[in-house]
Structure 1
Amino acid sequence: MIAALARDAKREAEATNERRVLVFAGDRDRGLDAAYAAVEAIAGDRRESEERKGGDRNGDERNGDTRESVSVVSTREGFRFEEHRPRNADDLLGRTREAVVLDCHEQFVPNAVGRCVGAVDGGGLLVLLTPDLDAWPAVRDRFDDSLAVPPYGIDDVTGRFRERFVATLRSHPGIAIASLGADGPADDAVERDGLVGSRGETTAEPAARPTAPPNATFPAAAYEACLTADQVRAVRAFEALATPGTAVVAEADRGRGKSSAAGIAAGALALGGADVLVTAPAFRNAAEVFARAGALIEGNEHAGEGGESYPERDARHLDAPSGGRVRYLAPAEAADLPGDPDAVIVDEAAALPVRLLERFLDAPAVAFCTTVHGYEGAGRGFSIRFKERLRASPFSVRDVRLDEPIRYARNDPVEAWASRALLLDARPAVEEAVAGSAVGEATYRTLAPDDLLADEALLREAFGLLVAAHYRTEPNDLARLLDAPNLAARALVAEGRVVAVALLAREGGLDAETRRGMYEGERVRGNMVPDVLTSQLRDEAAAEPRGVRTVRIATHHALRGEEFGTRLLEEVHEEFGGETDGDAVDYFSVGYGATPRLLRFWRRAGYRTVHLSTSRNDASGEYSAIMLRPGGEDGPGSALLGRHAAAFRDRERDGLSDAHRDVDPGVVVGALRACSAPTTVDLTEIEWRSVVGASYGPGMYDSAPGAFRDLAVAALIDGEGGSETSDGDALDDREKRLLVRKVLQGHPSESVADELGYVSTGACMRALGDAYEPLVERYGTDFALEERERFIND
């Protein structure tokens, strides 16, 4: 039965150049046997077909022994084929296989499903080994354990994601399900054969390889390496990168050959002598770019095909005979454009923050390649905000979109199934449905997991907003939304449509033993803010108060700037912080990549800075801020904020000249402005003489740098009398940046003058003295004011 099921699925998949899924549900050992039987069956079928045709399998991976093109993703030893652990399923990115076996028994990881689906070639099979489908939602495994963040246990984790996943397996075409009997093959039963049947399509002969378009500037081999007309158009568009001042935007769904086209173009540019810098969220995302670039540079005739058909080489650096090269750097490093590249290719651009993408606009020529739908990241920040910024830049922009699948037919049912099961194509409500909504008329509601499971449209709109708001939303996050006991979702709904959504995590409330372990170096999952305050900032009591952290917050792009995010936070604060609620939390928190705009937003929502990370995030290139808002005026949350705000104030006085020396001055100003710690300026008479002398007379800043730092920190924290909403004070923006760069971060006067646009170093230092005049007025003692009078009267 198993062999026949596998053969039928494989034959139909090959006939239509589509993919099929085989589900072997039941005992794991029986599932392993079934997977072996299925692979042996399709291998035998292939050998018989080749013998009839007299084919030669030598030298062609796709026509080799099926065992050699099978990947197994498993938590245990048990297969003699290529094996990967679920956490290493990323190894399959950029690689294709005739069959992939995914063992879902000990650890069912949604992200691994996405990677495995993407690795199956047209005509291939994805084999899932699962528990009995009816019982599976109640099964708890190692992935569930990762969702059971303290103080919750694994019994608190639900099985809604699996329940929904099983429903998609049983309803989508192209998925065969075999229930494996506990007593052996005699009890096996085929629940569905997964055959789609004829849909009026015929299998065409493979199209002739494309040729170079007229007047193409890339070598003919670049176009001969393309597999579709879409790829030819994309490679032709990339020719523009040889001209400074040009930007290319290439967009496609997964599996359309976007990265391959970018790689072919990179290789062609390098052959022409260009230095091409490639970046992506991680090197694995750019592996296909380097595979295709390397194949073209080395003259490999299989430059456009999947598989590893190129020689061993430095995976992240390719040298062309012409002197050109293709090299990879991580995003934060690549954004500095080291080595002055001639062109930059940013792959999976939607998975990077807009602020980081903007830094690549300093390149001579740049291409942004992105997946429209997929687990790599499809944030609307790229398609809405960044593309507007790109079109406002001096670049001449060329757009190209790839629609034709490379490795399987356009109507592949497995692609449709994966998109629904993992919500790879989730998106917010259409703009026309929400445009004009008034914030005051929106309804605040709980997005209970059971409601999301029961209402597919509600789930897609809510999750679509989360995908749109953040560059790292992935299938695992869908499982967390539906099953994690520490997470809660809240939304604003207008005209029946989700217009704003917040994903919240309960943190803290941990017992003394757990807190002690955290303090001594143990990691506790899911408690991000308590963990940082305890392990890094050495506060053993920080994990005792209970908090709610905003993990993600998103407003529909058509309604940004209309206060929906502010209204949603106000509702969250009222619900979780109500004094009459016995379950009220002690504080609210948030952690995010700090920018001046975001710091301003959270400060105005009542949040105060307690920490700024000492290193940049590898993907975003930003320093992360942690901010707290007490749940009440007096209580554990207020005390927690009080001691950490004061510690942040004191830490930054000296830390800005050390770990935070390269933080953007706008971020420093925003972080200090959002610090609630009281400020005191306690200078000696000698220090006041130096400050007053440098401000009003012939004194020098270097005579008392500590005094100038104390005044700068106080001024930036206090703003205009400590106002909660106003940014206005006696210092303008350039003066604030001057205080940060010169006084707090200790940069040389020459570089500060150049950065801030002063005509000379002398003018910069005179401006520094001028900036301290209002600070003397504000913080000066009677002695300081009397000292000032000496210079004013003169």
Structure 2
Amino acid sequence: MAAAFLTEWHTWRQQLHHSGERRMIVLAGSESWAIAQAIRLIHNTSSRQLWLGQASTNHACLPINKFQTALGQEYDSLIFNAFSGLHPDAFGAATGTLVAGGLMLLLCPPLAEWPDYADPDLARYVAQAEQAKDLNSPFLQRFVQQLQQDDAVIVWQQHTPFPLLPAPSAQCWLQQRDRQGCLNTQQRHALACMLRCARARIPMVLTADRGRGKSSLLGLAAHHLLQAGLKVLLTAPNHKAPAQALQHCASKLQFIAPDALLAEQPYADILLIDEAAAIPVPMLLTLAERYCCIFASTEHGYEGTGLGFQLKFQPQLDDLSPGWRKVHLNIPARWSPNDPLEPLVFRLLAFNAEPLAPPFATSANSELADTERMVSNPLSYRWVTRAALLNNEPLLQQLFGLLTLAHYQTRPSGLRHLLDAPDLLLAATFQDKVPVAVALLTREGPLSTALSQGVWRGQRRPRGHLLPQSLAFHGGLAQATQYTYYRVMRIVVHPHIQQQGIGSLLLSWLQQHLPQQVDCDFIGTSFGASTSLLNFWQNNSFKAVRLGQSRDGVSGLHSIMMLWPCSAQAQKILPCWQGQFSANLQAYRQGIWPEALNPIHQTLSLALPNSSPQQDNLIAHDFAFYHRDLISDQPALSRFIANHAPLRPLSASQQQLLSALVIPGAIPSLVAKQQKLLGQKAALSQLRNTLQHFFKVPSEP
């Protein structure tokens, strides 16, 4: 690069630091060219650099999917190599680590060609990686459009001169900490609240987007509390996350990992939890029961379970500690309020997507008037295509905003999934042209014969196809992989008009119109089994066919799968599956049944138990000789051994192990300990060998 350009470049970087702004430069061309230019641009400009994705052989880099390890740290230069995959979660998280005056270099193919590039990240949205090869990307098409519409973005295309550098704001951005170490009035207020809550032992939640100083405030609060003689502990999802908190605490602050906290239960007056949304909700609740906690986190989804922290954890904290406090920060501390990069990232990833308020929302004092308005402004329904979303940004924002309300694990990748994943269907309910309800469905199954057998035997676990895989492997329904399902991934009604039957009307419309739209055997669903949701799906004629025994890590609920039959074949087979599910549930209740499952059982409408001896025989055989799951197969195994004698004698220890492990609900690790075996694997291996005594081995005639 010419000396004159380098001088101009360094002057421009100094101006960015002066104004507190951050900028993005897009290097669009071949990967080798983009990497070479990025190295030249950041050479000797900063020691704090983060390179995500492939780099040159002599340049340190971090794989895109390891982006979480960079959270909680600060960088002056960020190089994001999109040739390694434009992972939306990584993109959103990484930009938040870039400090004032920082520069983001986005390496990508020529912009006109980028939507058709074989992006490695597309493999996350298909069942088999080869399906991604021929896909183009509406997500990248929109992404490029947003980049080109932003005047603050500098685009350097290969074979063209370097573009003019836009002048940063002339206004000087100064960061001056007060005597408490705070940068602005919001931080001072938040610190005062943290100290008051800690001294009064009142839990507190501190939320903000990235770059607002949450972690540094934790460190400042810790110092004050330690100086006051309180015992303070700090935890976070990994040891790198609380770097800023530790840096801003002038006293010695002890860090301890969440799992160690639960295992060792050390004493603390106050527990500070950084990046709280990246810790599973059940773990957070346990910590909240044992300690007075101050939680700090973003609520955007790339932090792990961001919306889970908002939609699942905080309502449960209400029950646990009704007087808890919440403070939100919105003034940036890491960069200028005039920074152009943050609003760009929010547009690119639809962070601010929100649904419009329904035009005729329910008024609690005017039921009749609301009913009349609904009649005069009836609901309408339609399928919404990707093309419609791509060509109508307000509609995309409204529908994606609705979808984010429906699930606690929504992340930036959800936008790419919506726009890029094949086999998705989107149906929406409109009221006076405003979307007020939406359902997102994904096609699953059928699986090939070879893949079906691999799934059934526990030898294969392909991405996607949740219903056919889980019903076959965990539900013991061997034929489940032969059918086509459309699983309702999300269904949501705008909060202002819930409890009016609008969700049921949308489901009814789907039940009527989906079979006309596509070949489909079942409409299915999988969700955390709360009583209200169970009643909703059962009231819409969905039938339960599988119940998980372990709790979800975020919701704390047991998952349940339910089906509604579309085709004649589905209508014929579903009662058989219901009978087997009821028989298994009955076996668990007679065995070791977790108490938490009792309310679910009492809510379920069940068919009469009706197990199949042939199915039980198949399950027992393939458990013995392959890798089927014990906890799922215990009911079938217990029925099988009750009705069959072994072909070869069993030793006393084999009989004892067999009797202990096939009790529905028995936990292999506990049985292994009781039987003085090396562990769960040893117990399962011995059980498989024991069950082989009930069958002819391959060498026998």
Q: Same fold (TM over 0.5)?
A: yes
**Alignment match, 1:536:** 474
Which piece of structure 1 moves more, 26-35 or 660-669? 660-669
Output the CA distance in 2 between the equivalents of 1:353 and 1:465.
24
Matched, 1:556 2:494: yes
Please tell me whether the aligned partners of residues 469 and 554 of structure 1 are also in contact (alpha carbons under 8 angstroms): yes
Does residue 1:676 correspond to 2:629, yes or no? no
Deviation by residue 1:393-423 (Cα, 9 ceiling, x = unmatched)? 8743444232221111012100010000011
Give the drift of 1:457. Answer: 0.9
2:391 is aligned, of 454, 462, 467, to: 454
Report the residue type matching 1:18 in the other structure: E
Contact 1:158-1:484 at 8 Å conserved across structures: no
Distance in 1 (CA, whole Å) between partners of 2:264 and 2:202 is 16
Report what 2:535 is aligned to.
600
> How much does 1:239 deviate?
1.4
**Do 1:612 and 1:624's aligned partners in 2 also have CA atoms closer than 8 Å?**
yes
Aligned to 2:341: 414
In 2: Cα distance, 1:351 partner to 1:555 partner = 27
Query: 2:245 and 2:527 mapped to 1: Cα distance?
Result: 36
Unaligned runs of 5+ in 1: 47-65, 182-187, 212-222, 300-317, 320-325, 681-705, 711-743, 747-794
Residue 520 of structure 2: aligned partner: 585
Q: Which residue of 2 aligns with 1:26?
A: 29
- Tell me which of 443, 452, 458 is aligned to 1:506: 443
Distance in 2 between residues matched to 1:428 and 1:562, nearest whole Å: 18
2:92 pairs with 1:117 = no
- In structure 1, how many angstroms separate the alpha carbons of the residues matched to 2:178 and 2:134? 56
Give, in whole Å, the separation in 2 of the partners of 1:37 and 1:490.
49
CA distance in 1, matches of 2:571, 2:267: 49
Q: Shift of residue 474 of structure 1?
A: 1.2
The question of whether the paired residues in 1 share the 8 Å contact of 2:186 and 2:329 is answered with yes
1:210 pairs with one of 167, 170, 178: 178
In the TM superposition, residue 193 of structure 1 has moved relative to its aligned partner by: 3.9
Structure-2 change in CA distance of 1:505 and 1:363 (3 Å): same
Instruction: Name the CA shift for 1:644/1:84 in 2 (closer, same or farther; >3 Å).
Output: farther
Whether the 8 Å CA contact 1:92–1:116 is kept in 2: the answer is: yes
Matching residue of 1:307? none
2:637 is equivalent to residue 665 of structure 1 = no
Report the counterpart of residue 791 of structure 1 in structure 2.
Answer: none
Tell me the equivalent position of 2:698: none
- Choose from 237, 241, 249 the match for 1:296: 249
Q: 1:372 to 1:91 in 2, by over 3 A?
A: closer
Q: Given the alignment of the two structures, is residue 645 of structure 1 paired with residue 578 of structure 2, yes or no?
A: yes
Task: Choose from 452, 455, 465 the match for 1:515.
Answer: 452
Question: For the residues of structure 1 that align with 2:306 and 2:456, how far apart are their CA atoms?
Answer: 36
1:329 and 2:246 correspond: no
Q: 1:74 — aligned with what?
A: 53
Helix, strand or coil: the match of 2:454? helix
Distance 1:69 1:648, change over 3 A: same
Instruction: Show the counterpart of 2:402.
Output: 465
Distance 1:364 1:586, change over 3 A: same
**Alignment pair present for 1:164 and 2:142:** yes
Instruction: Select which of 394, 401, 415 maps to 2:328.
Output: 401
Q: Distance in 2 between matches of 1:277 and 1:649?
A: 48
1:231 aligns with 2:231: no
Deviations 1:579-627 (A, max 9, x none): xx38331111111222222222222222222222232222332222222
Contact 1:210 1:229 in 2 (8 A): no
| C-alpha displacement of 1:657 | 7.1
Name the counterpart of 1:787: none
Q: 1: CA distance between counterparts of 2:523 and 2:157?
A: 48
**Count of residue pairs the alignment pairs up:** 604
Q: Tell me whether 1:131 sits opposite 2:68 in the alignment.
A: no
CA-CA distance at 1:560 after TM superposition: 2.0
Which letter maps to 1:14? H
Partner residue in 2 for 1:16: 19
> Secondary structure of 1:503's match?
strand
Q: Could you say if the C-alpha distance between residues 546 and 122 of structure 1 is closer, same or farther in structure 2, counting changes exceeding 3 Å?
A: same
Q: Name the structure 2 match of 1:241.
A: 197
TM-score norm. by structure 1 comes to 0.68
- Find out whether 1:108 has 2:76 as its counterpart: no
Counterpart among 420, 424, 432 of residue 495 in structure 1 = 432
Give me the TM-score of the superposition, normalised by structure 2: 0.76
Structure 2 counterpart of 1:486, from 423, 447, 450: 423
- Aligned partners of 2:49 and 2:75 also within 8 Å: yes
| SS of structure 1 residue aligned to 2:480 | coil
Shift of 1:387: 6.5
Q: For the Cα contact (< 8 Å) 1:433–1:497, is it kept in 2?
A: no
For 1:261, which of 202, 208, 217 is the aligned residue?
Answer: 217
Aligned to 1:96: 74
SS at match of 2:72: coil
Shift of 1:563: 1.8
Distance 1:98 1:377, change over 3 A: same
Distance in 2 of aligned mates of 1:351 and 1:39? 31
Between stretches 417-426 and 508-517, larger displacement belongs to 508-517
* 1:433-483, Cα deviation, whole Å (9 max, x unpaired): 755676662211212111111111111111111112222111211111011
Offset at residue 425 of structure 1 (A): 1.6
Amino acid aligned to 1:251: T
Aligned counterpart, 1:726: none
How many Å separate the matches in 2 of 1:605 and 1:163?
38
Contact 1:148 1:156 (8 Å CA) reproduced = no
- Deviation track 1:753-789 (CA, whole Å, cap 9, x = no partner) reads xxxxxxxxxxxxxxxxxxxxxxxxxxxxxxxxxxxxx
Mapped partners of 2:123, 2:312: distance in 1: 37
Counterpart CA distance in 1 for 2:428 and 2:511 is 13
1:735-754 alignment to 2 at 5 Å? Answer: none
2:208 aligns with 252
- Structure 1 distance, partners of 2:33, 2:383, is 43
For residue 569 of structure 2, the aligned residue among 635, 660, 668 is 635
Aligned equivalents of 2:313, 2:556: Cα separation in 1: 16
Alpha carbons 2:358, 2:436 under 8 Å: kept? no
Q: Deviations over 1:108-138 (max 9, x none)?
A: 2122211221121111111111001001111
Q: Is this contact kept in 2: 1:148–1:157, CA < 8 A? A: no
- Take 2:406 and 2:231, find their aligned partners in 1: how far apart are those partners? 34
Aligned mates of 1:432, 1:253 — CA distance in 2: 30
Determine helix, strand or coil for the equivalent of 1:133: coil
Root-mean-square deviation (CA, aligned residues, Å) is 3.8
In structure 2, the residue corresponding to 1:296 is in which secondary structure?
coil
Distance 1:464 1:637 in 2: 35
Instruction: Answer whether contact 1:276 1:343 (CA < 8 A) is retained.
Output: yes
Paired amino acid for 1:446: W
The structure with more radius of gyration: 1
Separation in structure 1 between the aligned mates of residue 528 and residue 270 of structure 2, nearest angstrom: 27
SS at match of 1:612: strand
Partner of 2:382: 445
C-alpha displacement at 1:155, in angstroms?
5.3
Distance, in Å, in 1 between the alignment partners of 2:124 and 2:485 is 20
Amino acid at match of 1:646: G
- SS of the residue aligned with 1:663? helix
Change (3 A) 1:142 1:459: same
Could you say which residue in structure 2 is the equivalent of 1:426? 353
Q: Find the residue that maps to 1:246 and give its secondary structure.
A: coil
- Sort the Cα spacing of 1:519 and 1:665 in 2 relative to 1 into closer, same or farther, 3 A: closer
Q: Residue 560 of structure 2: which of 607, 619, 625 is its match? A: 625
1:189 aligns to what SS in structure 2? Answer: coil
Aligned partners of 2:308, 2:67: CA distance in 1, in Å?
A: 27
Gaps of 5+ in 2: 364-369, 612-634, 640-663, 667-701
- Residues 250-292 of structure 1 show CA distances to partners (whole Å, capped at 9, x for unaligned) of 2322211123323443565456565667677xx14x8544651
Q: Structure 1, residues 643-676: CA drift from partner, whole Å, max 9, x if none?
A: 4333332333343577752535323433xx1433
